[in-house]
Amino acid sequence: MNSAVPNAKVLTKSQAACLMVLRNPGFSQRRIAGAAKLDLKKTEAALRKLAELGLVRRSESNLWSATSTGETCEFETVADPRVTKGRPSALDARLEVDLADPSQRNPGPVQPGPAGQRLLDLLDRPKGASALARESGLTRERIGQLLLRLHALGHIVFVDPDHPSWLIKRAGDESAVLDRDETRVLSAVPADRAADVSSLMTVKALAQCDVEPILDRLVEGGLVEGVESPSGSPAFRLTAAGLEHPQYVAPKRLAAPPRLPVRSDRIRLVLQTIADAGALRIRDVKDETKIPQNSINALMQYLKRKKLVAKPGIEFDAPYSLTNQGRLVLAEMALRQAA
């Protein structure tokens, strides 16, 4: 063909697709295949040719990037050459049988073969490659090959193109999905107790996340709920919908419980004594707990400042009862003691 641009490179569609991807550096061959919508075989051949032309290079860590020439050169594309007929290798033959029905001779979308259709059938909702491997009984390597080919044929979508194996859904599936950081936060929030932002940040996977706006989105989506915390700070707990969400992954380590405003056994004894009675005067608390008068006076004033106890009226000798915050703290102290 005659080039409309002087000195322009002439590349096949596959080579051009790979070069355009590699103008953003640091791609592995598998990631290039996903971004360019090619299978591994075409990707390998295209990269090999581009390297011969001096347009791309591979680092010692097997990551590909465009050369300075590849970054700036102009090029025109031609169709990929037709694959010559002949006996394919065992792996290629298996992929051809599994991924594309050889009977599809007419132009139009290539239909998946038995293994490809099996994966599509499993994608009743967005899933990760590890879940597909577990449910199909195929190896992760085999799943990766099938997914890249299905992606190249337009049957599936990679939710995160930078991490193709993370989450896959069928083309046309309009299911709302969480991004990677939202998934991490969702999976770190406990279901059976509250966790505040500071305790969530102790989870290693969340170190780089902006947790607060993510929590706001999860609350808006009904996956997490805001609850009262023993520490008095905003806290969060997983809802039933969050626990059942397909992207929820039971974590190996939950967020640490919020820091309590009080921790001593003596304080727990006083709070429990008042809770059992409903309301008590200071002298009655002293008698029940056997704490000396001077100590119990100071302790009750301390609990009052912490807003854990309060009088229902203004009378000097009125009894004290637990505030809502006091009941939350006592419940959390009992939970941690039993753990």
Instruction: Clarify whether residues 22 and 57 are in a common domain.
Output: yes
The pLDDT of residue 208: 60
Residue 115 scores a pLDDT above 90: no
The mean pLDDT value of the chain amounts to 81
Q: Within a 10 A sphere around the Cβ of 268, how many other Cβ atoms?
A: 18
The pLDDT of residue 248: 84
Taking the C-alpha atoms of residue 37 and residue 148, their distance in angstroms, rounded to an integer, is: 7
Q: Is residue 106 part of a domain?
A: no
In sequence order, what are the residues at sequence separation of 6 or more whose Cβ sits closer than 8 angstroms to the Cβ of residue 243? 191
Q: Is residue 229 part of a domain?
A: yes
The pLDDT of residue 6: 62
Instruction: Clarify whether residues 290 and 334 are in a common domain.
Output: yes
Q: Is residue 250 part of a domain?
A: no
Q: Is residue 89 part of a domain?
A: no
Closest to 133 in 3D by CA, of 149, 146, 151, 117: 146
- Tokens representing residue 37 in the block: 């919508």
Which of 143, 170, 197 is the last residue before a domain boundary? Answer: 170
Question: What is the average per-residue pLDDT within 306-330?
Answer: 86
Instruction: Clarify whether residues 233 and 270 are in a common domain.
Output: no
- What tens digit of pLDDT does each residue of 121-138 get? 999 888 888 889 999 998
User: 148 falls in which pLDDT band (50, 70, 90)?
Assistant: confident
Taking the C-alpha atoms of residue 217 and residue 213, their distance in angstroms, rounded to an integer, is: 6
Domain range holding 292? 265-338
Strands 168-170 and 156-158: antiparallel
Task: Count structural domains, the chain.
Answer: 4
- What tens digit of pLDDT does each residue of 244-278 get? 888 888 776 666 677 778 888 899 999 999 999 99
The pLDDT of residue 36: 78
Amino acid at 239: T
224 phi, psi to nearest 5 deg: -135, 150
In sequence order, what are the residues at sequence separation of 6 or more whose Cβ sits closer than 8 angstroms to the Cβ of residue 236? 189, 194, 195, 196, 200, 215, 218, 219, 224, 225, 226, 227
Q: Is residue 1 part of a domain?
A: no
Residue 75 scores a pLDDT above 70: yes
**In the chain, which ranges are continuous DSSP H helix?**
13-21, 29-36, 40-52, 68-72, 90-99, 114-122, 129-136, 140-152, 180-188, 197-200, 211-220, 240-244, 265-277, 282-289, 293-305, 324-338
Residue 169 scores a pLDDT above 60: yes
CATH number for the domain harbouring residue 279: 1.10.10.10
Instruction: Clarify whether residues 295 and 334 are in a common domain.
Output: yes
Instruction: Clarify whether residues 221 and 162 are in a common domain.
Output: no
The pLDDT of residue 91: 47
Closest to 326 in 3D by CA, of 283, 285, 268: 268
User: 83 falls in which pLDDT band (50, 70, 90)?
Assistant: low
